[in-house]
Structure 1
Amino acid sequence: MTASLQGIRVLDLTRVLAGPYCSMILGDLGADVIKVEAPGGSDDTRKWGPPFQEGVSAYYICANRNKKSLTVDLKSEKGQDIIKKLVAESDVVIHNFKSGTMERFGLDYDSLNKLNPRIIFCSITGFGETGPYKHLPGYDFIIQAMSGLMSITGNEESGPQKVGVAITDILTGLYACIGIQGALLERTQSGIGQKIDLSLYDSAVSSLINIGSNYLMSGKVPDRLGNHHANIVPYQTFSTKDGEMVIAVGNDRQFQSLCHVIGMPELASNDRFRTNPNRVENREELVAVLQKAFRMYSTDHWKEECHSAGIPFGPIQTIDELGKDPQLQARNMFTPFKHPKAGSINMIGSPLKLSRTPVNVKYHPPEPGEHTDEILQGIGYTEKEVHELRKNKTI
């Protein structure tokens, strides 16, 4: 079976989440991904937990399938030589070391470009490789705080809140995939590679989308609206008789339908609520009326009513409920797999559904150095040379 990125080799010198998430997606698409760590394993997520299964971290599992593992001491000259030999036969290098680290190793873009002018070099850092913050360490939580994301998440009572996952890492990993694939596509025309300079800070700020645009247009600093929408009403959570749900009314026609569903069609013709700008202006009054109506019946009742009327609706589900969701089951969003150490594991599947070149989970998240011998012998090292490298703790 042909894969979308079959024949593309990626050297993944990253750890934790943004970089590994990017390289996992590339691996899912068929790229040959080599995960490079220090001897013994240096990806911090291998030790993040609990939970662990037979000593294998759930956090590490989430972002490292479809890769082979090579351990190399990048501080040693012989270790750097290994990377350079691999670069000569590779298409992409991804790293997330602090600015200046790859230069100290002699593995920066300018040095590697001389070995392979076709190489695409993706740098992922907290703040980028230019500007006054370039040397600062960047962690998702710090970036969420600095980028404005926390200032608009939560409500006035809760104070600033972070998103429940490391969202700036995920966003940056996705941008890295986009940039790398764009550079690969451009290389088919120019024949040469290029450098990609990505930062978590830039990626987080880009995600402000309409909230950022609202400020740039109005000059008004946005309030924390909790589960309300800044520009659309009603577009929020509501309590029901037995739980909570989300109603997302995107236009006036849907609002008219909602008014009929709750048995109050007159609301749709009320001048205070007739159009979305009216509803935003009179948010509190309208939400109070709707909330009173929704508490009269169960979540399942409103689910059936809203779906029948074409009103965007969703129950607020807990993580354990997702595994029972027939839509996710139909979309194969939970993937069972055998791991040589952890045994039977479950992974969240890929959302990428390609008709001719589907995603395929070929490799379990590897143990440190699991494929070192195979990779080195594949680029010309003899069995004796590999033994000497291991004896000298280069690998």
Structure 2
Amino acid sequence: MSAGNHLRPLCGYRVLDMTRVLAGPYATMLLGDMGADVIKVEKPGCGDDTRSWGPPFVKSESCYFMAVNRNKRSIAVDIKQPKGKDIIREIAKKSDVLIENFVPGGLDKLQLGYEDLRKIAPSLIYCSITGYGSDGPLAKRAGYDVVAAAMGGLLSITGHEDGEPVRVGVAMTDIATGLYAHGAIMAAILQRQKTGKGQKIDCNLLSTQVAVLSHIGSNYLIAGKEANKWGTGHESIVPYQAFKTLDDGYLVVGGGNDQQFSSVCKILGMTNLSKDGRYTSNKDRVKNRRSLVATITKRILEKTMSEWLEAFEGSGVPYGPVNSMQETFSNPQVIHNGMIQEVDHPVAGKIRIPGPAVKFSSHSSNECIAPPLLGQHTEQVLKEVIDYEDATIAQLQKEQIINK
């Protein structure tokens, strides 16, 4: 880890990462960003599924894998072999947290489940991430982001009003589950300081998706209101959506209250709209959404993106362009916020990856270690964490229990 790692909040904590793909690796990456020693367990020969997800690749390395695996050490261990299981048990004894996302019961069959490990590591915080829950009628189903998003209602509210369901461009259900897991683990660490005991945490994609339906879910549960798709618009606020500009860009403009709506009308040169009885209050504007949106759409089409950005600057109105990746990572505020990290990768060379969203006053978040090669740290971890000798490591490699 970097020289300033001792200042990070989780310095001195160890995380045994038995996850793959996105939700789990995202959670462990956040813990690694905060200074935890994250030991990523991978299958010899192939590793995390996302190592093969591409293109794009840089040399032999997947950009997808590198997106969510910074600040980790990789060990390649065959956990189906008795000696491989022993390695996991020994590291678990020296760890604060274990995170896994096997099918429910998968690690139980290998004698590496929570009930097995709590006997030898009673202070271990054991976090399981599944598709639908650790038990129940759907527990054994394979969990994937888009399926959980579909079953949890997100796809029914995403897309144009009369169009087909649309998948969100990033696997937000996976990522939100990783965030829930990360937060729950932090809370369990605090609780362990009081009790001295570990516990099991269950997170799943379906519950996450239902929880983050937020007001759309409560609209149904409280008021019995079924949800609709609104494109870039908002069910309860008008105007609050993207409008096409003269040069084919899209400008998002929001009028979250009457004062902001009045400012929007002034900038558009259409002050008469704010005095029109059909649009006086937000309730009126929602009721007369179609006519108002049509009028604003026609007006914004008359000028270019740069002209509108200049007009809205300093107005206090929420606004912004729909940016491409190139425009996003060229944005001065994104750069100022340190959202691009440069690291030296042993195979890919100098690479840039998205940085952490949260900053601490105690340390710099700009330093990190590169996403690891498969099994890059196997020998190092076995020696440092569980005191294996060279001869033992050599024998394990000969027996194909590990790769290093």
Alignment TM-score, normalising by the size of structure 1:
0.98
C-alpha contact (below 8 Å) 2:153/2:210 kept by paired residues: yes
- 2:131 is the alignment partner of 1:126: yes
Q: For the residues of structure 2 that align with 1:59 and 1:288, how far apart are their CA atoms?
A: 40
Post-superposition shift, 1:37? Answer: 0.9
Post-superposition shift, 1:145? Answer: 1.3
Q: For the residues of structure 2 that align with 1:15 and 1:105, how far apart are their CA atoms?
A: 18
Percent of aligned pairs sharing the same letter: 46
- 2:47 is the alignment partner of 1:42: yes
Partner of 1:23: 28
Larger deviation, residues 213-222 vs 190-199: 213-222
Partner of 1:328: 334
C-alpha contact (below 8 Å) 1:41/1:369 kept by paired residues: no
- 2:241 is the alignment partner of 1:236: yes
2:129 aligned partner, one-letter code: I
Q: For the residues of structure 2 that align with 1:228 and 1:277, how far apart are their CA atoms?
A: 15
Q: For the residues of structure 2 that align with 1:300 and 1:363, how far apart are their CA atoms?
A: 39
1:51 aligned partner, one-letter code: P
Partner of 1:309: 315
**Alignment counterpart, residue 12 of structure 1, candidates 17, 23, 32:** 17
Partner of 2:252: 246
C-alpha contact (below 8 Å) 2:343/2:368 kept by paired residues: no
Tell me the secondary structure at the aligned position of residue 361 of structure 1.
coil
- 2:105 is the alignment partner of 1:109: no
Superposed, 1:1-395 pairs within 5 Å as 1=4, 2-242=7-247, 243-378=249-384, 379-395=386-402
C-alpha contact (below 8 Å) 2:240/2:252 kept by paired residues: yes
Unpaired segments of 5 or more residues in structure 2? none
Unpaired segments of 5 or more residues in structure 1? none
Q: For the residues of structure 1 that align with 2:196 and 2:317, how far apart are their CA atoms?
A: 50
Describe the superposition over 1:273-308 as per-residue Cα deviations: whole angstroms up to 9, x where unpaired. 111111001101111111122112121222122222
Q: For the residues of structure 2 that align with 1:138 and 1:303, how far apart are their CA atoms?
A: 42
C-alpha contact (below 8 Å) 1:30/1:359 kept by paired residues: no
C-alpha contact (below 8 Å) 2:216/2:227 kept by paired residues: yes
Tell me the secondary structure at the aligned position of residue 40 of structure 2.
strand
Tell me the secondary structure at the aligned position of residue 314 of structure 2.
helix
Tell me the secondary structure at the aligned position of residue 330 of structure 2.
coil
Tell me the secondary structure at the aligned position of residue 335 of structure 1.
strand
Tell me the secondary structure at the aligned position of residue 256 of structure 2.
coil
Post-superposition shift, 1:360? Answer: 4.8
Describe the superposition over 1:68-92 as per-residue Cα deviations: whole angstroms up to 9, x where unpaired. 1111111111111111111111100
Q: What is the RMSD computed on CA atoms of the aligned residues?
A: 1.1
Alignment TM-score, normalising by the size of structure 2:
0.96
Post-superposition shift, 1:138? Answer: 0.6
Post-superposition shift, 1:251? Answer: 0.9
* Structure 1 runs of 4+ with >4 Å offset: none
Larger deviation, residues 36-45 vs 176-185: 36-45
Post-superposition shift, 1:219? Answer: 1.5
